Structures are given as structure tokens and as C-alpha cells.
Amino acid sequence: MPNMSYTKALNRALGEEMGSDPLVLVLGEDINLALNNVTTGLLDLFGPERVLETPLSEQGFTGFATGAALAGMRPVVEYQIPFLTLLVLEQIYNQANRYSLITGGQARVPVTYLLPATGWRPGWGAQHSDQPYGIFAHTGVKTVLPATPSDAYGLFLSAIRDDDPVVLLAPLPALGLRENVVYAELAPIPLGVGRVHRVGDDVTVVATGHLVHDALAVAEQLTDEVSVEVFDPRTIYPFDWAGLAASLEKTGRLVVFDDTTRFCGLGAEILATAVEQMRLVAPPRRVTRPDSAVVIGCERALDLAVQPSREQLASAIETVAKS
């Protein structure tokens, strides 16, 4: 059985989609040499007309992708560093994502924005270590955050095929993950549908991205004291509220384990919605990054101090389970 890495899953999905749909093209910086390993081999297969190496002009090439999409293509834009998508929030949020609305439905803008290494990048400093999915979800841009290689494959395919702008974030700590797969069984995964990674009865843990794997480890570690269900929304926006409600219907207890900022973060939204609309028998909790998107990025101890940890999650689960 092939052992597929997360990065290879992205590469495979993109290559297959470019092979089957001539309207798909990829553009970005250093993609000819596949510095992020997502575009490996694609230049040889599809040529420079469909693998467009760009100068350092994020505003220009992001707007360019909007135009190419309006004229019928399906561009995939790779961003080497997560914050670069904030430099072009104008192009993604104010232009691409508003096109359908302000044209009264005349326009479709099927662009996928691929961020192939988000979150903590040890040693790369504060300006390279953002985890910006909360910003895109807040602004209503479809946002996916795959946790596993097969989810990365399936969600990437669906993102490219979607007729709206979609941001796909691949968390750096997940890129090295491998999974045994049967290639013929790999399939698109619909946006907006979560996944229960582990069934449990007492507490629902909503975990995102690479934190799914930490949550699974904590659940195993606590297995003698509390039965933990691990729910991965996979798509941040639109969020799978029905999937979460189904889990809480059973457990009635909730902990959110999330790699974004606490203030106005994803965790806040999930807790608020659960409190307003879902079955809860105990006050919910969240384990997040602190207020402000602080990551120092150059000193390991400082970085670990601001990231949600397994210890914090275990403590939160125990508190919620007892209350």
C-alpha cells in the first residue's frame, strides 16, 4: 500500500486536476523549482503556459488570477509565506470574493489560494509564522484546513472545482505526515463537511489542522478517565454546524483546540454558537493562541509558550468532564 505524504497529496491532486481539466493553471513564486514541493514535476508535464512562475508581485498576480477566473480558467495561486495572503486581502476578499455579489450573480471566480506551510515555522521569525484562517473565515471566504494527507488530497480537488474563491491552508507541522492509501480510493471531499476522527461519549474536542493529531494523542492518554470524541471540521468556513451539533447531542460537553488568536478567533465563534444553539450540560472551554497573533519564531521556548499544547488540552478536557 502506498505511503503518501501530505505534501505529495497536494502535488498529486494538483497534477491530476491539471491533467483532467485544461482550464486549471498554477501560478506563484519559485514554483518551477517547486520550493514547497507542491508543484514538483508539473512544469515538465504542463509547460510554462500552465505553470506560471511569477515575479514578487503578489497584488498583481492575485488580481491576475481573478481576471483569468472571470474569463473561464481555474487558477491555483501558491503563496510561499502565509502573511502574503494578508498583503492581498484586497484582491481576495474585496475583489474576488465579492465579485459574485456585486455583479448580481453574473460572475464566477474559481480561484484556489494555496498556503503550503502555515503556522509555526521554527526559526523563521515572527513575520513568517502566521496561521490566518480566522481572517478568511471572518470575511466569508471559503476556507479549508486539511489535517491528513487524504483530506488534503480530497479537499484540494474540491477547492479547485468550486466556483468560488477558496483558501486552502496546509499547516506546516502536518506537512510531513504520511498515510497508507489506495490511490484508486482517493476521492474529492466536499467543502463544509467535518470528520469524526475518534468516537467518544463524554467530551467533544473540536480540533483544527495539525492539532487534530495532538487531540487524538491526548484522547488516548486520557482514555481511562474520559471518553473523548475528536471532531475535525476540515472546512473552517462554511463550518459544519450540523456535524458539531450531532456530536454535542451525544456528549453535551465541548472543548475547542484551535491554533488561532483568542480574541474574535474561531474558538470564540464555536463556543458562542454551541452556547446559543446546541446541547451543552457544562460550560465549554477553548485552548488557543493568546490574544494577538504572537509567534516569535526564532526561539523554541518562546514559540511553544504561545501555542496551544497537549497539556493545556488535557487540563481543559478534565475540567469540562468534571463540571
Binding site for other proteins (CB under 8 A): 49, 52, 54-55, 57, 59-73, 75, 90-91, 94-95, 99-110, 140, 142, 162-164, 191-192, 238, 241, 273, 276-277
| Least distance CB 176 / other proteins (angstroms) | 32
8-state DSSP, 211: H
Cell of residue 171, nine digits: 499547516
Cell of residue 246, nine digits: 450531532
| Least distance CB 97 / other proteins (angstroms) | 9
Main-chain dihedrals φ then ψ at residue 13, nearest 5 degrees: -60, -45
Q: Which residues contact 124 (CB under 8 A, 6 or more apart)?
A: 297, 298
- Give the largest Cα separation in the chain, rounded: 60
Residue 215's SS3 state is helix
Is 197 an annotated catalytic residue?
Answer: no
The C-alpha atoms of residue 40 and residue 30 are separated, in whole angstroms, by 11
Q: Which residues contact 169 (CB under 8 A, 6 or more apart)?
A: 82, 115, 118, 131, 132, 133, 143, 144, 145, 209
**How many other CB atoms sit within 10 Å of the CB of residue 30?**
14
Nearer to other proteins, 132 or 192 (CB): 192
Give, in degrees to the nearest 5, the angle at Cα 152 between 70 and 38. 70
Nearer to other proteins, 175 or 271 (CB): 271
Nearer to other proteins, 2 or 22 (CB): 22
Nearer to other proteins, 89 or 282 (CB): 89
Which residue among the candidates 128, 197, 210, 213 is catalytic per the annotation?
128
The C-alpha atoms of residue 81 and residue 124 are separated, in whole angstroms, by 10
| Least distance CB 88 / other proteins (angstroms) | 9
The secondary structure element, H or E, covering residue 56 is none
| Least distance CB 121 / other proteins (angstroms) | 26
Nearer to other proteins, 21 or 299 (CB): 21
Which amino acid would we find at residue 236? I
| Least distance CB 24 / other proteins (angstroms) | 12
Q: Which residues are catalytic?
A: 128
